[in-house]
Structure 1
Amino acid sequence: MASPDIHLYTASTMNGWKPVIFLEEAGVEYDLTYIDFGKKEQKSDWYMRLNPNGRIPTIVDRSNDDFAVFESGAILWYLAEKYQQFLPVGEKARSEALQWLMFQMAGIGPMMGQAMYFQRIAAPKGIQDDYAIDRYVTESRRLLEVLDKQLADKPYILGDEFTIVDIATYPWVRSYPWAKVSVDGLDNFQAWCDRIDARPATQKAVTIPKPFPAFFGQGDEAASQAENASRF
C-alpha cells in the first residue's frame, strides 16, 4: 500500500497542533513522527536537514519530490493550497487571510508564548519576573480584544467559513487558562471558542500525538506545569 503524501513531524504544542488540525479537518491521511523534546530530537542532524530552525512542526510532501515545509503558518498555507481547503477564493479574501494569519504568527503566538514561558517555565525554576509577566499578559489580553472585535458579526475570523486562520489561532488563544489571561467580557471570542470546541475533528487533533489538557484549563495543573517545565 502506498504511503500517504504527507509525513508530519510534530509534538503536542500550540504550533505543533496546527497541521494536525488541518489534516484531521480535511480528512487527509498522513504519517506522523513524534518529536521528543526531552531527547532533543528537534536538534538532531537528521531533523535539522528538514527544518534548519530546529523547531516543530515540519511536513514532508512525498508527492512533491519529498519537499519539506517548516514554520506552522507556512505549512498551513501549503496544505490549504495543495488540498484546496480552508482558504478563501479571490485576491482580497486571500490577502485578508494572510493578514490574520500573520496577526497570529507575529502577535498572538509570541505574546501568549512569553506569557506562558515566564509563568509556567521560568517561575517554577525560580526566575520570577513580574514586569515581564505583566507585559506579556497585558498584551495578550489586548490581542484577544482585537480578535473579539473581529468576531462581533461573524462565526469565524474571516466570516462564515472555517479557515486556516481559525486553525492557526485556536490552539494558541484557547490556551488562555495556561497563559493566565482573562477573557472576561470577550463574549464574541468565547462564543467562537465554543464553536470550535464543538468540532470533533479539531478536538481529536489536539489529542495527537498526545493530549495536554492543562493548556485548555483541564486536568492537573500543578503536575502538568512540572511536566512542561521539565522539557525546557
Structure 2
Amino acid sequence: MAQPIELYYWPTPNGHKITIFCEEAGVPYEIRPVDITAGDQFREEFLRISPNNKMPAIVDPEGPGGEPISVFESGAILIYLGEKTGRFYPQEPRRKYRTLEWLMFQMGTVGPMLGQNHHFRAYAPERIPYAIERYTKEATRIYRVIDRRLSESEYIAGDEYTIADMAIFPWLISHERQGQRLEDHPNLERWYRAIEARPAVRRALEVGRELRRSAEEMDERAREVLFGRGQYDR
C-alpha cells in the first residue's frame, strides 16, 4: 500500500481493532478523528462513508482496480485488509471459516453484550440492578466460552494469530469494569497476556490516547450525544 488508508477513528474497542491490524501488518494509515462525544458521527460527510453513523470506517485510495473504496463496520474492514494484504486472514478453507466464525462471534455477541454490560455498569444515568445483573452474568458466560475455546488452541481461531484475536482482545481490556477477573479464566488470561505483550498491539492502543474520556469526564451534552434521544432523532 503506497498511499495510507484514511482511518475514521475514536479510541474505543472497535477503533482499536483496526489500529491493531495496521500496526501488525505495517499498513500505513492516517487518523481522521471522529469525536463521538461531540456528534461527529452524524455529519453528512461521515455518513457518506458510514451510513450507520458508527466508527470505525476507512477510505482506501488504492482499492480494487486501483480506485478508492470506503468500508464501514469493523469486521468488514478487518476482512478487507486481511484479503488485501494477505496477512492474518487464512485462505485455506477450514482455517478461513474458523476465523470467520469467531469474528462473527465477536461482532454478534462479544461487542454487543459487553457493550451493554459496560453501559449499565458505568454510563447509565441510574443504576438498574436487573440490567447490571443480566449483562454481568452474560459477560461471565462469554468469558467462559472464550476460555473453553482457548483450552483447545493457542489462539482464538486455531494455532495462528488472526483477525479474530484482533477483534476480541480490545473488548476484554476493560474486564474489571465488566465485573470480570482474568484469573477466573486461566486459558483466556494466558492468551490475553500474550496479545497484550505484542509490540504492535501496544503501539495500536496508544493511538488517540489523548482523545479518551472516562465516564466521569463526560458532561451532560456528551452523554446526550452518546446515549440520549438526539442519536435517534437524526
Normalised to the residue count of structure 1, the TM-score between the two structures is 0.89
Say if 1:141 and 1:183, in contact at 8 Å, map to a contact too. no
Question: SS in structure 1 opposite 2:167?
Answer: helix
Q: Go from structure 1 to structure 2 and tell me whether the alpha carbon gap of 1:91 and 1:76 turns closer, same or farther (over 3 Å shift).
A: same
Q: Among the aligned pairs, what percent are the same residue?
A: 38
Q: Letter of the aligned partner of 1:225 in structure 2?
A: A
Give the equivalent residue in structure 2 for 1:75. 77
Structure 1 residue 159, shift from structure 2 partner = 2.2
Contact 2:95 2:158 in 1 (8 A): no
1:227, CA displacement in angstroms?
A: 2.3
State the partner residue of 1:54: 53
Letter in structure 2 aligned against 1:186: H
Q: CA deviation at 1:83?
A: 0.5
Q: Provide Cα deviations, 1:42-66, integer angstroms capped at 9, x if missing partner.
A: 1101100111011100001101222
SS at match of 2:80: helix
Alignment of 1:23-34 (within 5 A): 23-34=22-33
Question: Which amino acid is the alignment partner of residue 57 of structure 2?
Answer: T
Paired position in structure 2 for 1:198: 197
- In the TM superposition, what are the counterparts of 1:31-180 in structure 2 within 5 Å? 31-64=30-63, 65-122=67-124, 125=125, 127-180=126-179
Aligned with 2:215 (options 220, 225, 231): 225
Moved more, 3-12 or 112-121: 3-12
CA distance in 2, matches of 1:53, 1:172: 20
Contact 1:9/1:32 (<8 A) preserved: yes
State the alpha-carbon separation in 2 of the partners of residues 199 and 52 from structure 1. Answer: 33
Give the secondary structure class of the aligned counterpart of 2:184.
coil
Measured in 1, the distance between the counterparts of 2:70 and 2:8 equals 11
Q: Is the 8 A contact 2:4 2:27 kept in 1?
A: no
Query: Structure 1: which 4+ aligned runs deviate by more than 4 Å?
Result: none
TM-score, normalisation: structure 2: 0.88
8 A Cα contact 1:108 1:173, kept in partner: no
Cα distance in structure 2, aligned partners of 1:129 and 1:13 = 24
1:228–1:20 Cα change, 3 Å:
farther
Aligned CA RMSD, in angstroms, stands at 1.9
* Shift in Å, 1:99: 0.7
CA positional deviation for 1:212: 8.0
1:211: Cα distance to partner? 5.8
| Residue equivalent to 2:228 | none
Distance 1:75 1:93 in 2: 19
- Bigger drift between 53-62 and 175-184 goes to 175-184
Question: What is residue 12 of structure 2 aligned with on the other side?
Answer: 13
Measured after TM superposition, the shift of residue 6 of structure 1 is 1.1
Unaligned runs of 5+ in 1: 214-222
* Further displaced range: 62-71 or 78-87: 62-71
- Residues 47, 212 of structure 1: CA spacing in aligned structure 2 closer, same or farther, 3 A cutoff? closer
Question: 2-11 vs 97-106, which deviates more?
Answer: 2-11
The residue matched to 1:135 in structure 2 has which SS? helix
Q: 1:58, 1:81 → 2: CA distance?
A: 17
Query: Structure 2 unaligned runs (5+)?
Result: 224-234
Q: Counterpart of 2:50 in 1: which secondary structure?
A: coil
Bigger mean CA deviation after superposition, 88-97 or 203-212: 203-212
After superposition, the C-alpha distances for 1:22-59 in whole angstroms (9 at most, x for unaligned) are: 00011111111111123211110110011101110000
Please state whether the residue corresponding to 1:63 is helix, strand or coil: coil
Distance in 1 between residues matched to 2:4 and 2:211, nearest whole Å: 27
